[in-house]
Structure 1
């Protein structure tokens, strides 16, 4: 049994995690601990506070007691809003507090894109424009080329959590560009686990979503690989050969 630990802010799209656990169809356990969200706002100051060390550290002990082998901060905007260097420091502090390998959803996107062997991506963000652009800057710092950014201008995770399949598909279509090799849908408040095959069929290319890459990142930290086609191209690829 491989136990993965996730720190998830508040309550919006967290039911993606038991769904993903079921779709993995293996001896993988997904443990979720909810952190205090503070103010529910996709605004830079609120996001910086959401990912503050004290808020993350508060949930760490519960994950340790669960037997988690790795921990991931399951929040995209609460990571990249700190910038590349700040997000790295956030993860280092989390690893120290947990005594476990650690990462965040923001880095999960960067690692997952590399896993797919692509470089040019389009972003479909639920966030306001300024926050969406910060995600694009984070991806650029990771060495990726962001060919398009689509912002939906939504301020709260609570509203994002109400979106259904039609809304998610519309966002992905609006974000996609012919020269994008993959489409990225950040925001762990967005329910996407049930829609990934439909998204990839519609766009004809890999689609990476926040909760999907977060669990994949936990598996990567635990040195586990699971073939799960219902979770998209990311979960069906062989490891890339590093040259």
Structure 2
């Protein structure tokens, strides 16, 4: 049994995780511990506080008790707003507190983009534009080019959690560009686990979503590879060896 531990802020998109667990197979367990979200606002100061060390540390003990093999901070904006170096320090502190391999959704996106061999991506963000641009900056620090950033300007995760399949599809379509190798939807509050096959069929290219790449990153940390076509190209392609 492989046990994957996730620190998830609040409750907006939590339903994606048991859905993904069902698609992965019976020998993989997904354990979710909810962290205190603080102020629910897609604003840089609030997001930095949401991902502060003391808030993450509060959930670590529970994950250790359930026997997690790895831990991922399941929040994109609560990691990339710290910048590349700050996000690395966040993960280092989490690994030290947990005594486990650790990562975050922001780094999961970077590794997933490279896994599928994408060099240029388009971003469809629920966040306000200033926050969304920080995600593009984070990707640029990893050598990933962004064709365009489309922002929806939603202020709270609670609102994002109410989005329907049609709204998710509309965001992905709006973000897509002909020269983008993949489309990224970076918000763990957004329900996407049930929509990935439709998104990829509609756009004709890989679509990477926050909860999808977060679980994939947990598997990577636990040295597991799972073929799960319902979770999209990321879970079906062989890894790409980048030159």
TM-score, normalised by the number of residues in structure 2: 0.99
1:1-243 correspondence runs (5 A)? 1-241=1-241
Unaligned 5+ residue runs, structure 2?
none
CA distance in 2, matches of 1:130, 1:86: 18
Match of 2:178, SS state, is coil
CA distance in 2, matches of 1:109, 1:60: 22
Shift of 1:184: 0.1
Query: Does the Cα contact within 8 Å between 2:117 and 2:242 map onto a contact in 1?
Result: no
Shift of 1:25: 2.1
Give CA-to-partner distance per residue, 1:196-218, whole Å, 9 cap, x none: 00000000000000000000000
Give CA-to-partner distance per residue, 1:137-162, whole Å, 9 cap, x none: 00000110001000000000000000
CA distance in 2, matches of 1:20, 1:93: 27
Unaligned 5+ residue runs, structure 1?
none
CA distance in 1, matches of 2:40, 2:240: 38
Query: Does the Cα contact within 8 Å between 2:125 and 2:132 map onto a contact in 1?
Result: yes
Give CA-to-partner distance per residue, 1:116-140, whole Å, 9 cap, x none: 0111000000000000000000000
Query: Does the Cα contact within 8 Å between 2:36 and 2:50 map onto a contact in 1?
Result: yes
CA distance in 1, matches of 2:242, 2:72: 24
Q: How many residues align?
A: 243
Shift of 1:242: 5.9
CA distance in 1, matches of 2:102, 2:126: 25
Moved over 4 A (4+): none
Shift of 1:26: 3.8
